[in-house]
Amino acid sequence: MTEYKNRSMIQRRLIPSYIFLTIVSFISVFPLYWMITAATNKSVDVARGKIVFGGYLMENWARLNQLQDLGGAMRNSFVYALVQTILALFICSLAGFGFELYHDKKKDFLFGVLLMAMMVPGVATMIPLFKMMSKLGFLNTVWGFMLPGISTPFLIMMFRQNSRNFPIDIMEAARIDGLSEVQIFFRMYLPVMKATYAAAAVITFMNAWNAYLWPRVIMTDKKAQTMPMLIANLAAGYTIDYGVLMLGVLFCSIPTMIIFFVLQKQFTEGITGAVK
């Protein structure tokens, strides 16, 4: 009896918390809800403040496809982000594996040097990288898009930190069994580190999909543009069709939203990954 009373008293004291959290949750979710409803409404209705679903989705869809090559941009974004994710995971996990499981003083020093790349801002390297990419003929290609992003100190550090738990004794046993170092990486390290790969994949894909400054610099041809560039173009005109714009924003958000809801745990780990 007293325990029950206690519990209801605790819940009563939490009422302010519930109210506060409900308001914050509402503010967090509402703009995204509004974006989805706006995609189904006529621009004038959106401007008038309509916040329920309407029946103008097909018209917005037709207009969006007439204004921009939506399919092309979706395909570009998918290809760029996917290629960048796969290569980044391979290169950075290989480095994390090397740095942690073969570590010595020299490698630790090199790791410290590489970490300094973390403080190089993208805006400072974009001009030299643009010149480099145009000299190599990589403008408007997936190469130009992903080369600056496939080896990052953040990912290397993430793999290195998470390799701490890798059972080193098994490596010795595997060597005695005749496995080469490369085989150890592919047959033992890769499966054991599955969780880290998943988290790293989610965060890399999201970052690549959402990138804006760098694609805008090197994707000079409209055919090569990404989704964030496409929706930015939609909003750049003098008069904005809000229904069409929000439908574009919705398409740009669908892949990341799906990842967020399905792989929220991996996403959280990806964000906090290297700081344990």
Partner 1 sequence: MKHKSVTAKQERWGWLFLMPATILICIMSFYPIIQALFTSFKTGSSANMKWAQPIVYNYTRMFSDKLFMRSVGNTFLYLIIQVPIMLIFAILLAQLLNNRDLKFRGLFRTCVFLPCATALVSYSLIFKSLFATQGLINSILQGLHITSSNINFLGTAWTAKMVIILALIWRWTGYNMVFYLAGLQGIEYSVYEAAKIDGANGWKTFWNITVPLLRPTIIMTFIMSINGTLQLFDESVNLTAGGPANSTITMSHYIYNNSFGQGVANFGYASAMSFFVFILVAILAAINLKVGDTRD
| Binding to partner 1 in span 181-210, by CB under 8 A | 181-182, 185, 209-210
Please, are residues 201 and 85 in contact by the beta-carbon 8 Å criterion?
yes
Eight-state DSSP code of residue 1: -
Calpha distance 226→80 (Å, rounded) = 9
Binding mask 33-52 for partner 1 (x = CB under 8 A): -xx--x-------xxxx-x-
User: Shortest gap between Cβ of 58 and partner 1 (angstroms)?
Assistant: 21
User: Shortest gap between Cβ of 78 and partner 1 (angstroms)?
Assistant: 14
23 binds partner 1 (CB under 8 A): no
Tally of residues, the chain:
276
* Phi-psi map region of 180: left, alpha, beta (phi>0 left; psi -120 to 50 alpha): beta
9's tokens: 């008293």
Calpha distance 251→249 (Å, rounded) = 5
Among 1, 3, 4, 31, binds partner 1 (CB under 8 A): 31
Alpha helices in the chain (DSSP H): 2-13, 15-38, 43-48, 57-67, 70-101, 105-115, 122-135, 142-146, 153-162, 168-176, 181-183, 190-192, 194-210, 213-218, 227-234, 242-262, 264-272
Binding mask 105-124 for partner 1 (x = CB under 8 A): --x--x---x-xxxxxxxxx
The stretch near partner 1 (CB under 8 A) out of 67-75, 136-144, 190-198, 250-258 is: 250-258
Among 20, 53, 109, 186, binds partner 1 (CB under 8 A): 20
126 binds partner 1 (CB under 8 A): yes
The stretch near partner 1 (CB under 8 A) out of 54-62, 66-74, 94-102, 190-198 is: 94-102
94 binds partner 1 (CB under 8 A): yes
Interface with partner 1: number of residues (CB under 8 A): 95
17 binds partner 1 (CB under 8 A): yes
74 binds partner 1 (CB under 8 A): no
Q: Please list every residue from 207 through 246 that binds partner 1, using CB under 8 A.
A: 209-210, 212-213, 216-217, 227-228, 231-232, 235, 240, 242, 245-246
The stretch near partner 1 (CB under 8 A) out of 61-69, 78-86, 137-145, 252-260 is: 252-260
For 270, residues 6+ apart whose C-beta sits below 8 A from its C-beta are 158, 199, 200, 202, 203, 204, 206
Among 29, 62, 170, 195, binds partner 1 (CB under 8 A): 29
Please, are residues 262 and 109 in contact by the beta-carbon 8 Å criterion?
no
Q: Please list every residue from 143 through 172 that binds partner 1, using CB under 8 A.
A: 147-148, 150-153, 156, 168, 172
| CA distances (Å), origin 120, targets 115, 123, 176 | 10, 9, 43
For 101, residues 6+ apart whose C-beta sits below 8 A from its C-beta are 163, 166, 168, 171, 189
15 binds partner 1 (CB under 8 A): no
